[in-house]
């Protein structure tokens, strides 16, 4: 964390070792971050480099990860999930309007701005994002389980891959487990490429048909038939008209705890780096 000397405002500091990072990858992330400014996107404030490291001064987001907040709530409904996904869609729609594809949307990259009960969702981590003026990409990248069928099939793909990932996230938010799960990666990818998933009993019995319809449209195997962000934002479940307010906290949280490690339980490797050289003019390093 760093503090801006003139204002006293706090910011997050992202430190990257040069030897672990291709220059082109960092340049891509910096170019993307400098191009975007949205209420639901973690923004870049400044950038520095030393002989061994790159330093990104980022907007401070202190509300924690999505799953952690759900587990801590005590009460959780479809309406809550709909509110989260609507904000993600608004952010991703903005990215797509600016010819940017995130390519790595997943719950770990969705953070709460602060600890307030009604804090907004922030989309983060643009390390795999791509500025695509022509709309077609070919590099296979993303996180297994969230990546779209056309990427795994090694076909040219478009911004529709982000919409698939949002569909997967929505599915998880409503049941607590992923739509595709196999210990064997080959079988996992095979299921994804066939779009082979189901709404299992009893976990989906109390979930509205509208929510399931939304997921089907987002997780459409054919990317040309898949919902765009604009279409998704107009869906009744996202608008809030059909999202149920029945409490699903217990069933969802049991599955989240079973299938996803809570971030605060993870063992995090930390490294010490000294920032004396770059924060003498504008920034004061506050420690990790």
Q: How confident is the model over 245-258, as pLDDT tens digits?
A: 999 999 999 999 99
| Nearest by Cα to 2 from 50, 41, 51, 59 | 59
* CA dihedral of residues 118, 123, 124, 125 (deg, nearest 10): 160
In the chain, ranges of CATH 1.10.510.10 domains: 66-264
Report the pLDDT averaged over residues 96-114: 95
Cα 42 to Cα 92, 153, 257, distances in angstroms: 12, 31, 27
pLDDT above 70: residue 219: yes
Burial class (CB in 10 A: 0-12, 13-18, 19+), 280: exposed
- Residue 287 pLDDT level (bands cut at 50, 70, 90): low
| Residues contacting residue 260 through CB under 8 Å, at least 6 positions apart | 67, 107
Average pLDDT over residues 267-288: 43
Name the segment(s) of the chain with CATH classification 3.30.200.20. Answer: 2-61+265-285
Measured CA to CA, the distance from residue 252 to residue 181 in angstroms comes to 17
User: Could you tell me the pTM of the whole model?
Assistant: 0.88
Contacts of 182-191 with CB under 8 Å at 24 or more apart are 185/144, 188/144, 188/145, 189/144, 189/152
**Does pLDDT of 172 surpass 50?**
yes
Q: Which residues, in sequence order, are CB contacts of 43 under 8 Å at separation 6+?
A: 33, 36, 37, 58, 59
Determine how many CB atoms are found less than 10 A away from the CB of residue 165: 26
Among the listed residues 60, 79, 81, 59, the one whose alpha carbon sits nearest the alpha carbon of residue 70? 81
Instruction: Report the C-alpha gap between 230 and 90 in whole angstroms.
Output: 9
Higher-confidence residue of 272 and 138: namely 138
CA-to-CA distance for 110 and 226, rounded, in angstroms? 22
Tell me which of 39, 46, 80, 104 is the catalytic residue: 104
Q: Does domain 2-61+265-285 have CATH number 3.30.200.20?
A: yes
pLDDT of residue 264: 40
Residue whose C-alpha is closest to residue 189's, from 197, 198, 180: 180
| Separation CA 221–CA 6 (nearest Å) | 51
- Alpha-carbon 181 to chain mean position: 19
Q: How far apart, in whole angstroms, are the C-alpha atoms of residue 288 and residue 117?
A: 25
Q: Which CATH superfamily is domain 66-264 in?
A: Transferase(Phosphotransferase) domain 1 (1.10.510.10)
247 assigned to active site:
no
Q: How confident is the model at residue 269 (pLDDT cuts 50, 70, 90)?
A: very low
Distance separating alpha carbons of residues 52 and 3, to the nearest angstrom: 22
């Amino acid at each position: 964390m760093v503090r801006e000397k003139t204002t006293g405002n706090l910011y997050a500091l992202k430190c990257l070792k040069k030897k672990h990072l291709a220059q082109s990858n960092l340049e891509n992330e910096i170019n993307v971050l400098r191009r975007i400014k949205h209420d639901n996107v973690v923004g870049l404030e400044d950038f520095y480099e030393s002989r061994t490291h790159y330093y990104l001064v980022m907007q401070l987001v202190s509300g924690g990860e999505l799953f952690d907040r759900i587990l801590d709530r005590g009460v959780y409904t479809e309406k809550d999930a709909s509110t989260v996904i609507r904000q993600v869609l608004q952010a991703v729609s903005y990215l797509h309007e600016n010819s940017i594809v995130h390519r790595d949307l997943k719950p770990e990259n969705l953070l709460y701005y602060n600890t307030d009960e009604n804090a907004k969702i922030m989309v983060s981590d643009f390390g795999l994002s791509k500025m695509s003026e022509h709309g077609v990409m070919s590099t296979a990248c993303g996180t297994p389980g969230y990546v779209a069928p056309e990427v795994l099939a090694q076909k040219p793909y478009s911004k529709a891959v982000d919409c698939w990932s949002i569909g997967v996230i929505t599915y998880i938010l409503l049941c607590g487990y992923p739509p595709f799960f196999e210990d064997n990666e080959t079988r996992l990818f095979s299921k994804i490429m066939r779009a082979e998933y189901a709404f299992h009993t009893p976990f989906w019995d109390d979930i509205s048909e509208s929510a399931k319809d939304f997921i089907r449209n987002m997780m459409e195997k054919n990317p040309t038939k898949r919902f765009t962000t604009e279409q998704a934002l107009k869906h009744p479940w996202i608008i809030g008209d059909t999202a149920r307010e029945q409490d699903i906290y217990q069933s969802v949280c049991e599955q989240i705890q079973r299938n996803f490690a809570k971030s605060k339980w993870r063992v995090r490797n930390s490294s010490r780096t000294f920032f004396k050289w770059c924060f003498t003019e504008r920034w004061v390093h506050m420690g990790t």
